Amino acid sequence: MTTPDRYPIPAATIRVEERIVNSRFIATIGPADTVESAQAFIQAIREEFADASHNVYAYKIGYGASVTESTTDDGEPSGTAGRPALAVLHGADIGDVVIVITRYFGGTKLGTGGLVRAYSGMVRAALDALPVTEKVEKRSVMFTTPYNLYERARHLIARHDGEVESEDFGAEVDLVLTLPVAEIEPFAAAMRELSAGRVEVVPL
């Protein structure tokens, strides 16, 4: 199930290439979870293909209703490159993604419709080839447990996909752990039930 704190993202940076009516198109697609990382990705491709006719980019940071998007035509006729590329990206079930479509002009003009088809087609080809993984947003929490509940608390942590960051063994045990955002409330409720209300899980 995809949610704003659990959604598909690129697992790697990949590249696809196609020749369309004498022009060479190269699409490079990869992960970017901030605008800054997307801009760095775009700049790296622009430097790699500095002699290209155009380096059209589009990116989508975030997922669902909460996304930041941007694009450019980079010298192609307005609306024929960036917007079609972003439209395909926008409709894809993926977040935190950036793509740069590089074009080496081959001497034959594609026309408005041809450009739209070429750029949107390159994004679709890149998405088809892209390996995908899942991003799970996590948060740190802490709680203090008596020793007689420690082992059962550790079992609950594992059951809720938590990872222990630190443990401090004093009069009781202080634990700091990371949990998937969606698991924080269920874990806190389970700890309250286990301890008859004595243990409170505190977000950091």
Residues 73 and 22 in one domain: yes
Residue 24: predicted pLDDT: 97
Tell me if 1 is assigned to some domain: no
C-alpha to C-alpha distance for 116 and 35, rounded to whole angstroms: 25
List, for the chain, all residue ranges whose pLDDT scores fall below the cut of 50.
none
* CB half-sphere exposure, 36, CA atoms < 13 A: 0
C-alpha to C-alpha distance for 145 and 123, rounded to whole angstroms: 52
| CATH number of residue 53's parent domain | 3.30.230.30
Domain count, the chain: 2
C-alpha to C-alpha distance for 150 and 157, rounded to whole angstroms: 11
| CATH number of residue 187's parent domain | 3.30.70.240
Residues 88 and 47 in one domain: yes
**Final residue of a structural domain among 79, 112, 134:** 134
The rounded percent of the chain whose pLDDT value lies above 70 is 98
195 in Cβ contact with 183 (< 8 Å): no
Residues 129 and 152 in one domain: no
What strands lie across the sheet with 173-180, from one edge to the other? 163-169, 173-180, 138-145, 202-203
Residue 137: predicted pLDDT: 82
Residues 78 and 11 in one domain: yes
Residue 136: predicted pLDDT: 85
Residues 23 and 104 in one domain: yes
Residue 1: predicted pLDDT: 53
Residue 84: predicted pLDDT: 97
Residues 23 and 121 in one domain: yes
- Alpha helices, H only, 71-180: 82-91, 111-129, 147-159
Residues 30 and 86 in one domain: yes
**Final residue of a structural domain among 79, 99, 134:** 134
| Parent domain of 175 | 137-203
